[in-house]
Structure 1
Amino acid sequence: MSRRRAATPPPDPEAPPDRHFVTALARGLEVLGCFRQGEALLGNQEIAARTGLPKSTVSRLTHTLTELGYLHYVPELGRYRLGMAVLSLGRAMLGGLDIRRVARPLLEQLAVETRSVVALGTRDRMRMVYLEVARGDAAIAVNLETGSRISLLSSAMGRAWLTACPPAMRTALLRQWDGAQAERAEAVAARALAEQRDYGCCCSFGDWQPDVNAIALGFDPGGGLPPMVVNCGAPAFLVSPEYLLQEARPRLAAVVRRLEHSLGLAGMSPAS
């Protein structure tokens, strides 16, 4: 069963209303979240379909976001693209993540040693987002960049995040799926926890994409930052599951330990 993306967990009918929650703001952010990697333009009808909001509501939201510079209207096409204000927010956010500066040389070394694409990422709603990317010999084969978003449930990175986050956070996230997707999410989480226990990492061998293998390891960066993950993956013709588990896994674990140690010594904050 498919389900539209939700910005927040569905309300608990037995819980008191959250008087601090601003629905209009949440809807506006949900509109901005509709734009996906590789998509430049969206119309009100497409946005309404993705958010589940009435088209009249979407029209008011897109008009307001355009006036504020978060969307740019292309009149000849009758569609919207993300505006410069979004770029400013993104640059400010990435610029404040000092962890990227610390992680970059470690990721680059691991990418070369394992002939893989190595990335640092974290969760964005129901997907994972790449915060930093380094490439080994797989550079021409896997088209992922900083800002790329991938499946939480199918990717090694997403599965590792499920094992690294606090149990209460994991439970709340899993409740956001329903029907068959809820059953799948529970099964994926259980498998991820088992892999972390047995292998010391989480795996995705042909699950995210049939011809891509990857492993990942999550950690708590501290400093008020959310759980993060380092993953290591490449096309299957370059790296087998056996290679990743036997050769790459110890190197991946060493990188995460060094990253945790460096962050602890630096007393790193989200924007230091």
Structure 2
Amino acid sequence: MNEEQVPVVQKSNAKEDRHFVTALARGLEVLACFRSGEKLLGNQELADRSKLPKSTVSRLTYTLTKLGYLQYDDDMGKYRLGTASLALGSAMLSKLDIRQFARPYMQELADFSHATVSLGMRDRLSMIYVENCRSQAALTLRLDVGARIPIAITAMGRAYLAEAGSTERNDILERVRELDEMKWPSIRDGVNRSIEEYHTLGCCTSFGSWQRDVNAIAVAFKPNNGSAILSINCGGPAFNLSPEFLLNEVRPRLIELVDRFRRT
């Protein structure tokens, strides 16, 4: 096995860590249930998504509402993110100087490819878009800042996994396997192939593997200032963005773009 391939993952001992605050982790899991484009969620929906008992979720939402991280809608009987949550997100985005630097270059690539170019960061088992540029072409993906995509089956996510250290990658994939044992073998094989192509092509590809009608390539990088790994992708509808065009025309431009970002 190539040393970069995914080994058999070992069980995590996070739950046995005496420094791990379970109540805090559960509260953050509830907040993470809110996704881009969704405004209101009830306790049952939050319980289903977080895999926590509804009684536990009810106590957590009560506490989070008291602290301003959630706001209760009396008419709908559901919760929306409160101003405290929004303040945290805004503070994080404002500190990402790379967004302002990267945006004009991303827009240039989006216009060239007639596609969508996005910058993403990891949040547990997802990649979250923190910047997004679309071409003026009508046919582009409608994913905005704050959108989440899966880390293990998308080009953006797999590029992140290829760039990450083996310890972090194995921890992520352990949790992916625990979520879906049935699909794990195909996910593992897909990640292994992506890591191999990352070293041979300089990027990860997703030609219909995440969504059948979507093609994308991605490269990840660690900014020169030592902040967390970022991943940048270029993607769009398959009928408008062929694998050949992405590999032959977009790939060298994307790699050149990331080399510029690495030096920033």
Task: Return the TM-score normalized by structure 2.
Answer: 0.90
Runs of 5+ in structure 1 lacking a partner?
A: 1-8, 264-272
For the residues of structure 1 that align with 2:226 and 2:192, how far apart are their CA atoms? 27
Helix, strand or coil for the counterpart of 2:210? coil
The letter for the 2-side match of 1:233 is G
- CA deviations 1:43-76 (Å, max 9, x no partner) are 1111112222222211111001001111111112
Which letter does structure 1 place at the counterpart of 2:91?
A
What is the one-letter code of the residue matched to 1:117?
T
The answer on whether the counterparts of 2:114 and 2:140 sit within 8 Å (CA) in structure 1 is no
Q: Which residue number in structure 1 is paired with residue 5 of structure 2? A: none
Partner of residue 51, structure 2:
52
Equivalent position amino acid for 1:100 in 2: R
Counterpart position of 1:218: 220
Cα drift, residue 119 of structure 1: 1.0
Q: Does 1:96 align with 2:95?
A: yes
Structure 2 counterpart of 1:183, one-letter code: P
Match of 1:72 in 2: 71
Match of 2:190 in 1: 188
Which deviates more from structure 2 when the two are superposed, residues 221-230 or residues 231-240? 221-230
| 2:253 paired residue number | 251
CA distance in 2, matches of 1:201, 1:74: 45
AA partner of residue 111 (structure 1): A
Look up the match of 1:24.
Answer: 23
Q: Tell me, which stretches of 5 or more residues in structure 2 are unaligned?
A: 1-9
In structure 2, the residue corresponding to 1:175 is in which secondary structure? Answer: helix
Q: Distance in 1 between matches of 2:192 and 2:130?
A: 26
Is the contact made by 1:174 and 1:185 (CA closer than 8 Å) also made in structure 2?
A: no
Offset at residue 212 of structure 1 (A): 1.5
Q: Distance in 1 between matches of 2:34 and 2:220?
A: 27
Equivalent residue, structure 1, for 2:202:
200
The aligned residue for residue 240 of structure 1 is 242
Question: Is the 1:157–1:217 Cα contact (8 Å) retained in structure 2?
Answer: yes
CA-based RMSD of the aligned residues comes to: 1.8
Q: How many residue pairs are counted as aligned between the two chains?
A: 252
Q: TM-score, normalised on structure 1?
A: 0.87
Task: Tell me the SS of whatever aligns to 2:146.
Answer: coil
Partner of 1:230: helix, strand, or coil?
strand
3-state SS, counterpart of residue 24 of structure 2: helix
Alpha-carbon distance in 1 for matches of 2:196, 2:23:
40
Mapped pair 1:156 → 2:162? no
- Whether 1:119 and 2:118 are equivalent positions in the alignment is yes
User: C-alpha separation between the residues in 1 aligned to 2:34 and 2:227?
Assistant: 25
| Native 8 Å contact 2:118 2:129 kept in 1 | yes
After TM superposition, give the deviation of residue 182 of structure 1 in Å. Answer: 3.0
